[in-house]
Structure 1
Amino acid sequence: MAAEAWYMDGSQEDPRKPHRLEPNEPVSLRQLEALGVFYWKLNADIYESDPELERIRRDRGYSFMDVISIHRDTLPDYEQKLKMFFEEHLHLDDEIRYILDGHAYFDVRSGEERWIRIAMTKGDMITLPAGIYHRFTLDETNYTKAMRLFVGEPVWKAYNRPADDFDARQKYLSSLQERGEKAV
């Protein structure tokens, strides 16, 4: 089963809640691809030897990887890190995450600046393009284990909004226009 995505309501309540509109407004994988967001469903039980993951890593040049467990018992400064992850930001490189266990949400901005929530569960892998505004949080289970993948050496720097002057942001906006589609 593929990841589920939807437009979010404007509630400022606990970010770990689903925040679906009533009625729900789902977002398809095709709509996410129009934003440059790509998704795969893999077998997380065999991530250490999965030939499909190895193929994706080889084809896309993901040469570095590590694994992080996000839970109050495993992540130092847990509460502070969650707040930081949930700040709207962008990166100068693609962000690639593969959920090995647990649950999480990635929120991305649509072409119209609306928030889209992407629910991630075990086996879901996502690529967010450099320059897209996004944020991350856990769901109410308060736990996920994720593989982080990078092209070359890992870059951990996030730039909180506003960050529109970065080349990565300008290239991202140009790529949306070049697709000739109005992104979601």
Structure 2
Amino acid sequence: MVEAWYMDESADDPRRPHRAEPNRPVGLEQLRRLGVLYWKLDADKYENDPELEKIRKERNYSWMDIITICKDKLPNYEEKRKAFYEEHLHLDDEIRYVLDGSGYFDVRDKEDKWIRIFMEKGDLITLPAGIYHRFTLDEKNYVKAMRLFVGDPVWTAYNRPADQFEARGRYVAFLAQTA
């Protein structure tokens, strides 16, 4: 099961857990109210997993590739690692399925506080278009993930502030409805 918590305010190494003291865990229902969806799958059978295929069909995730983020496998590793950790949003959902390794997705809650979501092998997450977020590896410095899209992939990240985009406006309206 996925683990999530409110983050501390430390500027220390982002690959550390950064749990607020006292610990303030965040459950799946709270993530769902932010539009964040989660599934636990068997990553060892991702190539022929009927459960993954069902999710892809139901949610129209038609495009897929696999990325390995580690020093030896990703060109311009340091630059990309820093770029992934810049607070940003996308105009489309961000869908990631961890096939091996681990890392953190950080998302903003309704009060603009950071929630850290620990992702490990078998975790599939969907971040809604318009949510401010960022990604970092954990201290193991390795993750292999499937990237899924509805239609053709769009890699553009819009660093905060990016409130002028329609996707952000729709997301803010969604948050107001779930209040």
Structure 1 and Structure 2 fold alike (TM over 0.5): yes
Task: Write the deviation string for residues 83-110 of structure 1: whole angstroms up to 9, x where unpaired.
Answer: 0000000000000000000001000000
Q: Which amino acid aligns with 2:152?
A: E
For 1:134 and 1:162, the matched residues in 2 are separated by 12
- Please provide the CA RMSD for this pair: 0.4
Q: C-alpha offsets along residues 38-73 of structure 1, whole Å, 9 cap, x if unaligned?
A: 000000000000000000000000000000000000
Aligned partners of 2:81, 2:8: CA distance in 1, in Å? 20
Number of the residue aligned with 1:66: 65
For 2:110 and 2:84, how far apart are their aligned partners in 1?
22
Q: Which amino acid is the alignment partner of residue 58 of structure 2?
A: D
| 2:169 matched residue in structure 1 | 170
Matched, 1:124 2:123: yes
> C-alpha separation between the residues in 1 aligned to 2:129 and 2:11?
26
Q: Structure 1 segments of 4 or more deviating over 6 A?
A: none
Write out aligned runs for 1:79-94 (5 A). Answer: 79-94=78-93
The 5 A counterparts of 1:136-175 are 136-175=135-174
> In 2, distance between residues paired with 1:29 and 1:11?
25
Please, what TM-score do these two structures have when normalized by structure 2? 0.99
Number of the residue aligned with 2:132: 133
2:32 corresponds in structure 1 to: 33
Letter in 2 for 1:106: F
Is the counterpart of residue 52 in structure 1 residue 51 in structure 2? yes
Secondary structure at the aligned position of 1:47 is classed as helix
Q: Provide the C-alpha distance between the structure 1 equivalents of 2:174 and 2:2, rounded to a whole number of angstroms.
A: 24
Note the residue ranges of structure 1 that are not aligned, 5 or more in a row: none
SS at match of 1:102: strand
* Match in the other structure for 2:20: 21
The count of aligned residue pairs is 179
Q: Deviations over 1:111-154 (max 9, x none)?
A: 00000000000000000000000000000000000000000000
Q: Runs of 5+ in structure 2 lacking a partner? A: none
